[in-house]
Amino acid sequence: MCLNHKAIIMIYKRCIYAALVICLGMTTNMNSQTQKVMQTKTISEDQQDVLNAIESMTQSFNSKDIDGVMSSYQTGALVIFEPETRVTDFKVLKEMFLGAFSINPKFEYPKGHEVFINGDTATHIAPWTMTGTAPDGTIIKQSGLSMANLKKQKNGKWLLTFDNPHGSFLMNK
């Protein structure tokens, strides 16, 4: 084989390689566009009902409406107020929420929500931010990952059965 022929084959291989890289880049770009579209897809009625239940609880919490907060939970619900600290007693749960109201907390979900439904059970996942003010005037800012399970009641209402606002705890250990 002559040198020119080897050079032509080398150029040909580079062209094929460049075409493959371009195609791979286009495929990756198309996949990332598809993922963006999937994030804005229409949600089911049950998913919307779960989001409404979460938003209702959050609004009740932000406005210090203890009855609204407590009506968001199924009797015996498990709440993780602090990492590795479980609360299931409804009376203790109420006392802890009332204590939390003392810092005037405001919760938001700036990055959105994920809701997965399986029959009459739902899982809600959402990053959150909280701002509040301590009694001495110190500004408090926290963030985390909320992981919650809800159960659809016979009347169609979704109630929290598990609420862990510290879902990212192990990742930060």
pLDDT for res 170: 79
pLDDT for res 162: 97
- Closest to 65 (Cα-Cα) out of 76, 54, 53, 57: 57
pLDDT for res 172: 78
Which residues of the chain are under the pLDDT cut of 50? 1, 3, 5, 7-38, 40
Output the pTM of the full model.
0.74
Does domain 45-172 fall into CATH 3.10.450.50?
yes
Structure tokens at 59: 């609004």
Which sequence spans correspond to the domains of the chain?
A: 1-41, 45-172
pLDDT for res 6: 52
State the alpha helices, DSSP H only, in the chain: 3-39, 45-62, 66-70, 90-100
Name residue 17's amino acid.
Y
Across 154-168, b (16+ Cβ under 10 Å) vs e yields eeebbbbbbbbbbbb
pLDDT for res 137: 94
Write the CA distances from 5 to 14, 22, 52, 96, integer angstroms.
14, 26, 69, 80
Instruction: In whole angstroms, give the CA distance from residue 53 to residue 152.
Output: 11
Q: Specify the DSSP class assigned to residue 137.
A: S
